[in-house]
Amino acid sequence: MTEPKAPQDHKKPAAQLEAEGIKTVDVEFKGLTLTFPADADDWSLEAEVAMEDGLLGKAFRAQLGPVQWAAVLAKKPLKRDLMDLNVAVGKALGFESPGE
């Protein structure tokens, strides 16, 4: 018996998300412009669960997809940098503080 395939929206390029009507926001991080769905309800379930578990790296890797995540890793971020990214994404989504 084969496993059903999970949706892979989080691996779609930002332009494809926008073409499908999913509004996005751009977030600046270490000289990069990263694109995220503007509505937290459009984030992948994998990213949501990782966020709930406090695993920021895993959450952002799941949400950004392989191309954007590779660009992030090329910047050699530290763990503390991911918290800065989390705050920036939260602000872009309209939250006043992380975890809201």
The residues, ordered by sequence, that sit 6+ positions from 68 with a Cβ below 8 Å of its Cβ are 14, 32, 34, 35
Residue spans of the domains in the chain: they are 9-92
Per the model's pLDDT, the better-predicted residue between 72 and 11 turns out to be: 72
Rounded (5°) CA angle 84-89-94? 125
Rounded mean pLDDT, 50-61: 95
CB 10 within 8 A of CB 47: yes
Model-level pTM? 0.73
pLDDT in tens, 67-91: 999 999 999 999 999 999 999 999 9
So what's the pLDDT on residue 17?
Answer: 56
